[in-house]
């Protein structure tokens, strides 16, 4: 279409200057170009009807794509608002989320939770500080498959009480043949606030941030 307009440059006003500044042609510009082309076409050599129909089809496609884009942006905005509202509703509730971070506060530590996918003959529960140093190891005998809770007394292997803060735990389980058994780690925390970071929603529990995607259970406090 633009070639047709430029071919009549000697008889039509200049309409290509604006396009050279902005390579993107919107639907309004597209329609203006089409009308201008019809206005200044050679009466003795009118536009081919096939070409005109094709350009109208292009305009129709552009209009539809613009409407789709607008609707998508509206949908994305609505979904973001719904997600934000849902995140706020977590405040004051207890959530179970996959992860291995626990907090120790005022002498008390959070429970460690894990699930075994089969019976275990031996189980080791280890506590690490934020630098990855092993502080304490518990060794247990036989445990049935299923969910288990474990409580740390907040002391290291020398019996010294560690400072308040965030710690990590790991669980290693083995069957009667000393083959490793998978253990799924999770924690239960009370949500005290919400944090937004780079489009992601995180739930606050003390100093800990919990990804909303890791939550699998919500209950009243």
Judge if 83 and 112 occupy the same domain.
Answer: no
Highest mean pLDDT among 40-54, 71-85, 155-169, 184-198: 155-169
Average pLDDT of the segment spanning 99-110:
87
Domain coverage including residue 215: 93-220
State pTM to two decimals.
0.58
- Edge-first strand order for the sheet with 215-220 is 146-150, 112-116, 183-190, 93-98, 215-220
Q: Domain ends where: 87, 121, 141?
A: 87
In a shared domain, residues 13 and 51: yes
Are 135 and 213 contained in the same domain? yes
Q: Are residues 151 and 173 in the same domain?
A: yes
CB atoms within 10 A of CB 112: 24
Tell me which H or E stretch contains 187: strand 183-190
123 lies in the same domain as 197: yes
Q: Which of 31, 53, 87 is the last residue of a domain?
A: 87
pLDDT of residue 59: 62
Between 142 and 201, whose confidence is greater? 142
Q: Which tens digit of pLDDT belongs to each residue from 1-36?
A: 434 333 344 443 443 444 445 555 566 776 677 677
Classify burial at 185, counting beta carbons within 10 Å of its beta carbon; exposed 0-12, middle 13-18, buried 19 or more.
Answer: middle
Over residues 133-182, the pLDDT tens digits come to 999 999 999 999 999 999 999 999 999 999 999 999 999 999 999 999 99
Contact 184, 138 (CB under 8 A): no
Q: How many helices (H) and strands (E) does the chain have?
A: 4, 14
What CATH number has the domain bearing residue 183? 2.60.40.4070
Number of domains in the chain: 2
Q: Does residue 149 or residue 89 have the better pLDDT? A: 149
Q: List, as own/partner pairs, every contact residues 197-202 make where C-beta atoms lie below 8 angstroms and the sequence separation is at least 24, other chains included.
A: 201/83, 201/84, 201/87
C-alpha–C-alpha distance, residues 142 and 23, integer Å: 71
H or E, element range at 52: helix 49-88
Q: Are residues 56 and 123 in the same domain?
A: no
């Amino acid at each position: 279409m633009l070639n047709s307009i430029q071919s009549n440059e000697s008889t039509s006003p200049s309409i290509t200057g604006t396009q050279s500044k902005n390579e993107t042609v919107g639907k309004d510009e597209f329609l203006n170009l089409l009308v201008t082309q019809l206005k200044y076409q050679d009466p003795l050599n009118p536009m081919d009807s096939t070409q005109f129909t094709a350009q109208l089809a292009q305009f129709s496609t552009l209009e539809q794509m613009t409407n789709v884009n607008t609707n998508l942006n509206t949908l994305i905005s609505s979904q973001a608002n719904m997600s934000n509202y849902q995140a706020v509703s977590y405040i004051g509730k207890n959530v179970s989320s996959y992860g291995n971070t626990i907090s120790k506060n005022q002498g008390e530590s959070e429970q460690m939770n894990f699930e075994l996918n089969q019976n275990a003959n031996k189980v080791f529960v280890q506590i690490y500080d934020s630098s990855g140093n092993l502080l304490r190891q518990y060794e247990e005998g036989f445990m049935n498959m299923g969910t288990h809770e474990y409580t740390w007394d907040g002391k290291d292997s020398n019996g010294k009480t560690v400072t308040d803060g965030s710690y990590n735990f790991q669980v290693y389980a083995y069957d009667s043949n000393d083959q490793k058994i998978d253990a799924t780690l999770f924690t239960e925390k009370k949500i005290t606030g919400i944090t937004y970071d780079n489009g992601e929603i995180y739930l606050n529990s003390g100093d800990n941030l919990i990804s909303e995607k890791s939550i699998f259970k919500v209950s009243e406090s």
